[in-house]
């Protein structure tokens, strides 16, 4: 009983400690199937996900944005969203392991990376 309580306390402490750490990359546990990313204040996110995860981008800005694969300002042809107006969404499922940079064609300074792990 004491050992289980100690393990529980350690696990909770690690979770609380990790909440305060911001390394600029959002991590998602492997059992997650959908990740939602809000586009706000002209910022795209770096996100780590597992193979098979669907990412849904929602535009919360007043300006239209895109989610385009590649390194700004060049598209690599993997995916390219239409213009995402305020309140609209775009989603894509990541089926392969790898690092996928992306950017906004309207605002080429907006960049992010999706890291897909096994």
Q: Do strands 46-50 and 111-117 pair parallel, antiparallel, or not at all (unpaired)? A: parallel
pLDDT, one tens digit per residue, over 58-76 is 999 999 999 999 999 999 9
In this prediction, residue 68 carries a pLDDT of: 98
CA distance 24 to 37: 13
Q: For the chain, what are the domain ranges?
A: 24-117
CA-nearest of 29, 104, 7, 23 to 61 is: 104
Sheet hosting strand 34-39, strand order edge to edge: 34-39, 54-59, 89-93
Residues found in the chain: 118
Q: Per-residue confidence at 33, pLDDT binned at 50, 70, 90?
A: confident
**Helix, strand, or coil here: 78?**
strand
In order of 10, 13, 90, 92, the CA distances from 70 in angstroms are 41, 39, 17, 15
24-117 has CATH 2.60.40.1840 classification: no
pLDDT, one tens digit per residue, over 46-61 is 999 999 999 999 999 9
Instruction: Check: CB of residue 94 under 8 Å from CB of residue 53.
Output: yes
In this prediction, residue 13 carries a pLDDT of: 40
CA distance 94 to 100: 10
């Amino acid at each position: 009983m004491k050992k289980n309580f100690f393990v529980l306390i350690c696990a909770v402490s690690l979770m609380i400690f990790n909440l305060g750490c911001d390394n600029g990359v959002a991590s998602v546990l492997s059992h997650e199937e959908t990740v939602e990313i809000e586009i706000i204040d002209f910022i795209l996110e770096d996100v780590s996900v597992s193979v098979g995860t669907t990412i849904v981008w929602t535009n919360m800005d007043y300006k239209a944005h895109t989610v385009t694969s590649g390194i700004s300002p060049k598209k690599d042809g993997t995916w390219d969203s239409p213009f995402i107006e305020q309140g609209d969404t775009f989603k894509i499922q990541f089926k392969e392991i790898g690092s996928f940079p992306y950017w906004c064609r309207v605002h080429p300074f907006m960049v992010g990376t999706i890291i897909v792990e096994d």
